[in-house]
């Protein structure tokens, strides 16, 4: 199968590319390397057709989509704090870029587009765990952009007959997640800080709850979303279905690393959600999705990926 992965040099995209290559697909990647990293693709030089360009360019997207059967749209400008600082660029990349992907896929005769959405669209509205049928309340420009892109996917499915599936990711973590960016996710930041003996910074009291989901589960969900006929036109939560606090995260990392490092607490950031975890029953029922790697095991695997020569403790 001929497949395009937008954002294929990024954290989630590159893990997906690896799995697609292992199963024998012909893979193209579209990335502008604003957040993706070239080193994420170096292992497959010659096996991946790399197209460097912007999602905001319909011409570039259209050239990338040509002759593809399937598109995994992972490309985006991530991060809630980044979107608060620069909502215009988040809007242009995440909404206009998604519209370019959908229209180019329609024009190229692509069978299905699997779109990477976000749990952030639920915001801080009451009701836990999060269920796909509940109201949404985006609390940051990034979340607004993901919700708007979801709606465009739905319209593309209904109006143009383009099969679309949207996956609402919950706090994905794992290998190749960049810990050095100012906007990087909490787990790689905490792991690399604590491995160096530094205190991790928690914004808030640390009791905020997250559904930390290992990358292997997300890759599996994408493959199911591409293959299961009944998934077309739907939106699915993709998480582990279990909440963990940031204080619990620090305690788990201390156990795995053999350290006793206390976090630093700072003021809560604008746009941050207090509590979030997924009800994954719909994805289970329709796609056969399940959690293959849990929280503790995933942390152990991730620690090893940042220091291959380190012997981590057994998963908590």
Alpha carbon distance 114, 224 (integer Å): 10
Total length of the chain: 316
Alpha carbon distance 227, 65 (integer Å): 19
Spacing of C-alpha 196 from chain mean position: 26
Contact 173, 253 (CB under 8 A): no
| Residue 265 is a catalytic residue | no
Spacing of C-alpha 29 from chain mean position: 16
Please tell me the chain's helix, strand, coil percentages from 3-state DSSP, rounded to the nearest 5. 45, 20, 40
Contact 280, 239 (CB under 8 A): yes
Q: Coil, strand or helix: which one is 16?
A: helix
The active-site residue, picked from 58, 122, 142, 160, is: 142
What is the set of active-site residues?
Answer: 142
């Amino acid at each position: 199968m001929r497949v395009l992965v937008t954002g294929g040099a990024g954290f989630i995209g590159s893990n997906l590319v690896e799995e697609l290559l292992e199963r024998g697909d012909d893979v193209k990647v579209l990335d502008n390397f604003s957040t993706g990293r070239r080193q994420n693709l170096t292992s497959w030089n010659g096996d991946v057709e790399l197209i460097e360009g912007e999602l905001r360019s319909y011409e570039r997207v259209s050239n990338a989509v040509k002759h593809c059967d399937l598109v995994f749209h992972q490309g985006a400008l991530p991060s809630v704090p980044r979107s608060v600082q620069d909502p215009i660029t988040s809007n242009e990349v995440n909404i206009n870029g998604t519209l370019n992907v959908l229209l180019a896929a329609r024009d190229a005769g692509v069978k299905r587009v699997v779109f990477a959405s976000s749990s952030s669209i639920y915001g801080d509205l009451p009701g836990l765990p999060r269920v796909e049928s509940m109201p949404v309340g985006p609390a940051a420009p990034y979340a607004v952009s993901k919700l708007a892109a979801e709606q465009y996917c739905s319209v593309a499915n209904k109006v143009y007959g383009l099969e679309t599936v949207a996956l609402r990711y919950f706090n994905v973590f794992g290998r190749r997640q960049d810990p050095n960016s100012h906007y990087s996710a909490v787990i790689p930041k905490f792991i690399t800080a604590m491995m160096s003996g530094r205190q991790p910074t928690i914004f808030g009291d640390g009791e905020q709850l997250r559904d930390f989901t290992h990358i292997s589960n997300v890759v599996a969900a994408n493959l199911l979303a591409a293959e299961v006929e009944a998934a077309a036109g739907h939106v699915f939560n993709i998480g582990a279905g279990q909440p963990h606090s940031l204080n619990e995260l620090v305690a788990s990392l201390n156990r795995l690393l053999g350290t006793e490092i206390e976090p630093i607490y700072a003021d809560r950031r604008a746009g941050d959600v207090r509590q979030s975890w997924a009800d994954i029953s719909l994805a289970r029922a329709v796609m056969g999705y399940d959690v293959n790697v849990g929280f503790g095991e995933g942390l152990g695997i991730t620690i090893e990926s940042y220091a291959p020569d380190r012997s981590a403790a057994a998963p908590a």
